């Protein structure tokens, strides 16, 4: 039997059930945040999620594929061969009735490196609560959202319901570098009528998001004793020359963005970042090598291959103008993202369901539209598989920074909204008890 979620009493039951479980949910988030699931180190976090799903009697699919097996999927990038395998964990609840609409609740559990610990007020993997915020690497991006989605289904159950439509709960890796985790679930065959990714949006809806390209500049040259600086040449100052040229390119691309329908009101939507630099072996030797790991944003609608070609051209032109790089041009390695931008369009039905859930939990008519200068896994569902993909989640601050934090009240609101959304989108069926 399918129940309607728009009965006020059912709504209130669901909201109350979220509240009843919230203390446990907060502890669960702390436990999850204690796991330092940086790139390549995600297994304990995947184990944690697989265990949580099994305890809740979800059907669990836990599998690993070689990265090369994904190469024909749209949106694939090869991470310069540095990521060889992808493991994913998907839980499924299927009523078997064929009623209701299906839903993918997706979230990544990889976190970005925490940086020097002394710059954190409290240790990054020892989550602490101050003034209603939980602090810790990954608490905001996006462990709180992942936990909200899991506990939303728990709350439905406590209120005596289960989703009528099929629900998949996806835990993926590599969201912060390539999206290969999301890609592996699509290659596995998971599809639904809608995807929902609770990234930290502050209870707003991501209407558009940028794409991104990752690349590494590899400068190599003839070092010498610094006493004879004229005979050698510095790979570090040569790399600085390339960074300057890419910053000029960044300005040009942002000037173009002033005409984009979703970004015309966003100041500087496309960010170039020289995120890591390593060069040289000795203070008194001219540096022979310098590697710079870079990220550049691009707009929804941009052709990622054309943008990549512009990056190559910028680097080649800058090298041709440089006395040292002219003879020893830099190499470019494509180290991760080769990601299209994405705009949420033609998604009236899931958007309406989200608006109803948001209104019931917050009292506001609908979530605020956002044009993101970051990216999420939504692009895979929306662009390549026609699955409208909502990105909506709790409020976080200082993600990728020190003292990253998530607002716990917003996590509770978000859990209510996801539970109400599931009830609305998938429908409900009564469970025994």
Binding site for a copy of itself (CB under 8 A): 112-116, 119, 141, 176-177, 210, 212, 214, 220, 222-230, 232, 234, 236-237, 240, 243, 267-268, 271, 273-290, 293-295, 297, 335-337, 372-374, 398-402
Q: How far is the CB of 63 from a copy of itself (least distance, A)?
A: 27
Minimum CB–partner distance for residue 262 and a copy of itself (Å) = 14
Q: How far is the CB of 402 from a copy of itself (least distance, A)?
A: 7
276/431 with CB nearer a copy of itself: 276
Considering the complex, state which of residue 295 and residue 366 has its C-beta at the smaller distance from a copy of itself: 295
Other beta carbons within 10 angstroms of residue 88's beta carbon come to 25
CB of 219 to a copy of itself, least distance (A): 11
C-alpha–C-alpha distance, residues 385 and 368, integer Å: 25
Minimum CB separation of residue 240 from a copy of itself in Å reads: 5
Among residues 193, 185, 196, 175, which one has the least CA distance to residue 91?
A: 185
Choice between 216 and 429, CB closer to a copy of itself: 216
Distance of closest approach, residue 224 Cβ to a copy of itself, in angstroms: 4
Q: Which is nearer to a copy of itself, 237 or 362 (CB)?
A: 237
Instruction: Give whichever of 108 and 166 is closer to a copy of itself, judged by the CB atom.
Output: 108
Whether 391 and 376 have beta carbons less than 8 Å apart is answered as yes
CA 329 – CA 380 distance, rounded (Å):
35
Secondary structure letter of residue 251 according to DSSP: H
Chain-centre distance for alpha carbon 283 = 39
As measured in angstroms, the least distance from the Cβ of 323 to a copy of itself is 15
- Shortest Å, Cβ 156 to a copy of itself: 32
Would you state the structure tokens that stand for residue 168, as one six-digit string? Answer: 């998949």
For the CB of residue 310, give the shortest distance to a copy of itself in the complex, in Å: 18
List of E strands, 252-350: 272-279, 289-298, 331-333, 338-339, 342-343
Query: Is the CB of 107 or the CB of 165 nearer to a copy of itself?
Result: 107
To 10 degrees, what angle do helices 144-158 and 408-425 make? 50
Contact 358, 203 (CB under 8 A): yes
| Beta strands 389-391; 369-372: pairing state | unpaired
Tokens of 7: 């009965």
User: Judged by CB, which is closer to a copy of itself: 31, or 397?
Assistant: 397
CA 97 to CA 359: how far, in whole Å?
29
User: Looking at beta carbons only, is 31 or 293 nearer to a copy of itself?
Assistant: 293
Residue 418 neighbours by CB distance under 10 Å = 29
- 414 by Cβ neighbours in 10 Å (0-12 / 13-18 / 19+) ranks as buried
Which is closer to a copy of itself, CB of 95 or CB of 178? 178
Instruction: Check: CB of residue 425 under 8 Å from CB of residue 101.
Output: yes
- Non-local (6+) Cβ contacts of 259 within 8 A are none
């Amino acid at each position: 039997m399918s129940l309607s979620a728009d009965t006020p009493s059912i709504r209130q039951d669901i909201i109350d059930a979220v509240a009843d479980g919230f203390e446990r949910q907060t502890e669960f988030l702390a436990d999850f945040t204690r796991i330092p699931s940086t790139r390549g180190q995600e297994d304990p976090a995947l184990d944690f999620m697989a265990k949580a799903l099994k305890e809740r009697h979800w059907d669990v699919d836990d599998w690993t594929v070689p990265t090369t097996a994904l190469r024909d999927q749209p949106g694939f990038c090869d991470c310069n061969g540095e990521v060889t395998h992808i493991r994913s964990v998907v839980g499924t609840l299927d009523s078997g009735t064929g009623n209701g609409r299906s839903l993918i609740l997706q979230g990544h559990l990889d976190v970005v490196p925490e940086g020097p610990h002394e710059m954190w007020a409290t240790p990054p993997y020892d989550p602490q609560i101050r003034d209603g915020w939980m602090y810790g690497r990954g608490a905001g991006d996006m462990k709180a959202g992942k936990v909200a989605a899991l506990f939303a289904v728990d709350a439905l159950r406590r209120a005596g319901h289960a989703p009528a439509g099929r629900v998949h709960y996806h835990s993926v890796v590599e969201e912060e570098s390539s999206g290969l985790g999301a890609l592996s679930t699509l290659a596995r065959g998971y599809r639904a009528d809608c995807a929902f990714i609770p990234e930290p949006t502050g209870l707003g809806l991501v209407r558009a998001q940028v794409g991104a390209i990752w690349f590494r500049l590899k400068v190599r040259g003839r070092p010498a004793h610094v006493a004879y600086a004229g005979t050698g040449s510095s790979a570090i100052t040569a790399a600085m020359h390339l960074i300057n040229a890419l910053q000029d390119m960044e300005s040009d691309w942002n000037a173009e963005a002033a005409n984009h329908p979703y970004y015309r009101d966003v100041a500087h939507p496309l960010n170039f970042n020289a995120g890591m630099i390593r060069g040289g072996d000795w203070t008194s030797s001219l540096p022979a090598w310098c590697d710079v790991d870079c990220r550049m944003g691009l707009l929804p609608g941009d052709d990622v291959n054309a943008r990549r070609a512009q990056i190559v051209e910028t680097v080649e032109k800058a090298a041709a103008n440089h006395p040292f790089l002219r003879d020893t041009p830099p190499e470019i390695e494509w180290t991760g993202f080769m990601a299209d931008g994405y705009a949420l369009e033609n998604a009236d039905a899931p958007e309406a369901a989200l608006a109803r859930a948001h209104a019931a939990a917050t009292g506001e008519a609908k979530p605020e539209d956002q044009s993101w200068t970051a990216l999420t896994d939504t692009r895979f569902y929306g662009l390549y598989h026609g699955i409208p993909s909502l990105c909506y989640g709790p409020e976080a601050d200082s993600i990728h920074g020190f003292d990253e934090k998530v607002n716990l009240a917003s996590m509770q609101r978000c859990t209510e909204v996801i539970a109400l959304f599931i009830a609305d989108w998938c429908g409900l069926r009564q469970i025994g008890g």
